Structure 1
């Protein structure tokens, strides 16, 4: 067994002038209290889940918040607060400002890096695995080392409901270690892993999306695959249903997203306990039980 969370090795890009900046610099990993930015002008670099959440929290206290990102307009939540200024990622820093690609600059007191994490396994012997463009090899089903099949990784897949999926991965690992699962040959596992990776590239995904599960129903398909191989029932459809609901609402109603509560009422049904907050899709909230 080897449990490794990918949210442990923070990534901060090397930006020109970073050492000159005299204001506060932190990575989102160490963000705790938005009150610490009271009255400050803050630049947030990166705007996926952490960047969205942190910028909205800080905006309650900061003098000004600028979120710097390269997401496409159609990918960015239209419900994001308009008072938070959006700019492209800055390319240089001075002692008291950030400089954007067009040469314009903005004075800021603090910078929060919501720039994600990088896989790192410093406790493994050199040569046991390789990591290139955030793709880990040689592993099968994002968890089993192809050459050393009693070495099982937890925490590699990104963007999925972690607790239910890790529970299923644990069931798979237990059965594998007990000798109750027969894996394909090493050649077949390598070929299957490579085919999956190439399929992602053909979809237009960048190489760093080798282990992402958050788009479409990819996580459900992944769970179904390991359940079939392990000989047990996959997760109930309601897990994907709630995930879809939350992602839809996050896009259309991001300010209230964290105030939703759900009750699972069956394998394929759930109930929203806070329908008054679901402003973007009232029909879902009114259909108290979705099936």
Structure 2
């Protein structure tokens, strides 16, 4: 990477597609934000190459954006792929995701190994210091609504309405959760990911039971899966559709009326 003489940017610093006007560009990584950034930049750039290893990539993704495996090396003006092929580019945007980092905590307070944070109960509560509660550990979920659930549970823990299990019980629960993920075929780095199957909804129901309140209404689960499906089949237009929640289990598409 040190050899590359073009423009290099991490997606967290991306603001305007116009910065890449007329350039040939490689985007490394293609999660949700990586896909969105690639499509935005493609409107201004000369050519965009999105480099990723995703299996279930949206078939509705623009055909003029070329897809390649992740590149393994960079020269002063190109990226090189595992098979030795090479593409000349003027700029590279990295979307590798994020790693957990808590430099403001004293060494030894938490342990991070292969993106698994310990000792943490329910992906949010420090087992040794239960008044230390994290809101940003769980990933790949309906963040803002789940954060409301986190906050309600946290308040009930701090004011004493929720009594936590013993330290040994919390450690066992944490390890059982991790071992189940491994059994399901997930990588160890997915210790806190909620985006596979029903995990985020089971997690939400679990926290709600612990907090003594109702979980998120089932309509949100329905709408979540509908929108994910729409993104897969119509990635260029799915964000333009408006919905109205009409009940605990129902919603309607306002653009189809």
TM class, shorter-length: over 0.9
Aligned equivalent of 2:10: 27
Q: Which of 133, 150, 159 lines up with 2:131 in the alignment?
A: 150
The structural deviation recorded for 1:274 is 2.5
3-state DSSP of counterpart to 1:246: helix
Q: Which of 47, 53, 65 lines up with 2:48 in the alignment?
A: 65
1:259 aligns with 2:201: no
Aligned equivalent of 2:35: 52
1:201 aligns with 2:187: no
The structural deviation recorded for 1:183 is 1.2
Q: Distance in 2 between matches of 1:233 and 1:185?
A: 24
TM-score normalised over the length of structure 2 = 0.97
Residue by residue, what CA displacement relative to the aligned partner does 1:57-103 show, whole Å, maximum 9, x if unpaired? 1111111110111112xx11111111111111111111111111111
Q: Distance in 2 between matches of 1:274 and 1:112?
A: 34
Residue by residue, what CA displacement relative to the aligned partner does 1:135-186 show, whole Å, maximum 9, x if unpaired? 1000100000011111111111111111111111101000110111111111
Structure 2, gaps ≥5 residues long = none
Aligned equivalent of 2:147: 166
1:99-178 equivalent positions in 2, closer than 5 A: 99-178=80-159
Q: Distance in 2 between matches of 1:106 and 1:274?
A: 42
Q: Distance in 2 between matches of 1:274 and 1:63?
A: 34
Aligned equivalent of 2:168: 187
The structural deviation recorded for 1:44 is 0.4
The structural deviation recorded for 1:247 is 0.7
Q: Which of 189, 214, 217 lines up with 1:236 in the alignment?
A: 217
3-state DSSP of counterpart to 1:274: helix
Aligned equivalent of 1:3: none
> Do the aligned partners of 1:217 and 1:240 also contact (CA within 8 Å) in 2?
no
Q: Distance in 2 between matches of 1:236 and 1:145?
A: 28
Over aligned residues, Cα RMSD in angstroms?
1.0
TM-score normalised over the length of structure 1 = 0.86
The structural deviation recorded for 1:115 is 0.7
Aligned equivalent of 1:11: none
The structural deviation recorded for 1:249 is 0.8
> Matched residue pairs, number?
257
| Displaced runs of 4 or more, over 2 A | none
